[in-house]
Structure 1
Amino acid sequence: MQTVSSTVRKAPRPRADALRNRERIVAAAREMFVEFGPEVPLDEIARRAGVGNATVYRHFPERDALVGEVVCSVIDRTAEAAERALTETGDAFEALSRFVHTAADERINALCPMVSSAFDRHHPDLQAARERVEHLIEVLMERARAAGQLRPDVGVGDLMVAVAQLSRPPAGTACLHVDRFAHRHLQLFLDGLRAPARSDLPGAATTMEDLRQA
């Protein structure tokens, strides 16, 4: 009689070269989606990644799968930036500022609209990545607020709207030519977040749930 251990087989681990190829495809797709939008030909992505067309289709049989992988990877990288800011930066507001500038470099504004047009916004991977980064931003903001450095009338939604609007225009609209303005404008915005507030903001603080329902 076969034992349990003899009948159960672990799924084979992907080869190192296959993992590298996948990472190169996702990195190339991220760059080209930002430059040209999500409809850029997969053959062009393969060329930039330095792999064959068949390799792209083997990893991502459908375009939506590649778009989803790129969006989730950007959100994950943004979450990692928030974690680094929390652990490596002692000053609470400086940690928040560091995160904001790093999030801008990830070009979130150019990529996130693709969620509604080419990817299931309710996909479990996307929801998990989004919940992780939103929690970390909440922690960053609460720490700065508790330190008396962040004005109390702003929410995570306010922060992310500003990062999106000030950092990059939508994909395919010469966004690479405005990089030199992004961090300058973001710093002006960050200066406006500092406590004590110099003015009263109209309306209430915006949450991420407010944005999703808009």
Structure 2
Amino acid sequence: MVSQTAVKPGTPRLRADATRNRERIVAAAQEAFVEFGADVPLDEIARRAGIGNATLYRHFPDRRELARSVVLSVFGTMAKEAETIAAEAPDAFAALEAIVHGAVEWKVGALCPMFSEWMDVDDPELLAARNRLDNVVERLFDEAQADGTLRTDVAPGDVMILASQIARPLPGTTPLLHVQFVHRYIQLVLDGLRAPQRSVLPGQPATLQDLRGQCAVPTGPQQ
């Protein structure tokens, strides 16, 4: 799923083989973090990436830096794919459906809670990636509500919260079993967002601003 990696500004350009190694490490780390949690041994990540431990530590001297790259890569990929979906979908609601299903595939619901206590909410690279994604989602919400396909008493944050909650595996279930059902339940939620609305929702809609800081760059723990 991860198709790009984040490199700090000012970092020397990597050779092609080093770039491939870095991308393999970040992709393997994303899978391992989702499967085993934030404390997965870095040796396991190196094994999954098909590289030696020394190569992993050369690219990522500690867990903090590796986790940061995973989060930035995921949000960067999500933003890029959301822009493509928005440009190609037949209407705004269909684009929102595809983006929400994509967020499940990107494992955002697992990664965000994992790193929520370690975040640097002012990280400029993460803010840029999140703003890019937020702009797409908010525009699609406005368009879908304006054309009458999306109920008017919801906001983008409502959908992100629902998708994140549904995407988290239940305790005691296997990843394979979870994947078999998660998109089914996501679609049930999306169908409930269609206008005309059939009920009155309690409380206030959750905006994306309400969710700021809920998934940002980890600042600890160290390896």
The whole-number CA distance in structure 2 between the counterparts of 1:73 and 1:114 is: 16
Matches within 5 A, 1:115-130: 115-130=115-130
Find out whether 1:140 has 2:140 as its counterpart: yes
Q: Is the 8 A contact 2:92 2:140 kept in 1?
A: yes
1:28 is matched with 28
Q: Report the alpha carbon displacement of residue 38 of structure 1 after superposing the two structures with TM.
A: 1.0
Structure 2 gap segments, 5+ residues each: 1-9, 215-223
Secondary structure of 2:120's aligned partner? coil
Question: What is the CA-CA distance between 1:171 and the residue it aligns to?
Answer: 10
- Superposed counterparts of 1:9-158, under 5 Å: 13-158=13-158
The residue aligned with 2:221 is none
TM-score (norm 2): 0.85
Partner Cα separation in structure 1 for residue 164 and residue 11 of structure 2: 40
Structure 1 unpaired stretches of 5+: 1-9
- Say if 1:176 and 1:74 are closer, same or farther in 2 by CA, change over 3 A: farther
| 1:33 and 1:40 in contact (8 A); partners too | yes
- Counting matched residue pairs gives 205
TM-score normalised by L of structure 1: 0.88
Once the two structures are superposed, residues 136-191 of structure 1 have per-residue CA deviations (whole angstroms, 9 ceiling, x without a partner) of 11012112112210011111110100110112238997444311111000000000
Bigger proportion of residues as helix: 1
**Aligned in 2, Cα 1:51/1:77: closer, same or farther, shift over 3 Å?**
same
Q: Quote the sequence identity (%).
A: 55
Instruction: Say if 2:119 and 2:213, in contact at 8 Å, map to a contact too.
Output: no
Cα distance in 2, alignment partners of residues 87 and 172 from structure 1 = 39
Tell me how far 1:212 sits from its aligned partner: 3.8
Cα offset, 1:12, TM superposition: 5.1
The 8 Å contact of residues 43 and 53 in structure 2, kept in 1 or not, is answered as yes
The whole-number CA distance in structure 2 between the counterparts of 1:180 and 1:54 is 37
Larger radius of gyration: 1
Residue deviations 1:57-91, cap 9 Å, x none?
11111111111111111111221221121111122
Q: CA deviation at 1:98?
A: 0.8
Equivalent pair of 1:35/1:173 in contact (CA under 8 Å): no
CA distance in 2, matches of 1:27, 1:173: 23
For residues 33-78 of structure 1, the C-alpha deviation after alignment (integer angstroms, 9 at most, x for no partner) is: 0000011111110010001111111111111111111111111122
